[in-house]
Amino acid sequence: MSLEQAAEELVDAVVVNDGQLLLVNVQGGWGLPSGVPEEAETPQATAARAVYELTGYLVDGSSLLVPEPADGAPAVVCHLLSEDPSGEAQLTAGQLRWAPFAEAVDIDGGLPAPVRAYLEGHTPV
């Protein structure tokens, strides 16, 4: 699989908990945890697996946010199922960050439009 194919197949995980979004350090900036689907794996299962492998948090992959064709990767809203990450995470605690929805909407590099719309619609007033 080429890098272009892998990028096209990525599934973004939108991990939410108590008005905050989980961000991971990617290429010097902050972004969503993401992963490539395994054979016959749904986007929801891919998101939950990728979050666990990267961060050690258990999440459900509950709601699929369908992107516009130009927006790229599908995103899955995931709710936190464990308060503490396992010790098997690929990323360290310093590579993870919980950001309030209002702050996360404006992260450098930007979030996909369906993710921004979801966060804006769920930001506490």
- Whole-number pLDDT of residue 71: 58
On whether the CB atoms of residues 118 and 81 are closer than 8 A, the answer is: no
**Predicted local distance difference test score (pLDDT) of residue 62:** 84
Domain positions in the chain: 3-114
Find tokens 């992260």 and name the residue. Answer: 107
pLDDT digits (tens, 9 = 90+) for 6-64: 445 899 999 999 999 999 998 788 999 999 999 999 999 999 999 999 999 999 988 99
Q: Are 75 and 32 contacting, i.e. CB atoms less than 8 angstroms apart? A: yes
| Residue-level pLDDT at 2 | 36
Tens digit of each residue's pLDDT (9 = 90 or more) over 67-123 = 665 557 789 999 999 999 998 899 999 999 999 998 998 887 788 888 998 998 887
Note whether 32 and 116 are within 8 A (CB): no
pLDDT for position 28: 80
CA distance 125 to 49: 32
3-114: which CATH architecture?
Answer: Alpha-Beta Complex (3.90)
Q: 1 falls in which pLDDT band (50, 70, 90)?
A: very low
Torsion of CA 22, 54, 59, 4, to 10 degrees: 90
pLDDT band at residue 66, thresholds of 50, 70 and 90?
confident
Residue 114 and residue 82: Cα distance in Å, rounded?
25
DSSP reduced 3-state for 99: strand
Q: In angstroms, rounded to a whole number, what is the distance separating the alpha carbons of residues 78 and 45? A: 10
124 pLDDT exceeds 80?
Answer: no
Q: How far is Cα 108 from Cα 29, in angstroms, rounded to an integer?
A: 7
pLDDT of residue 33: 96
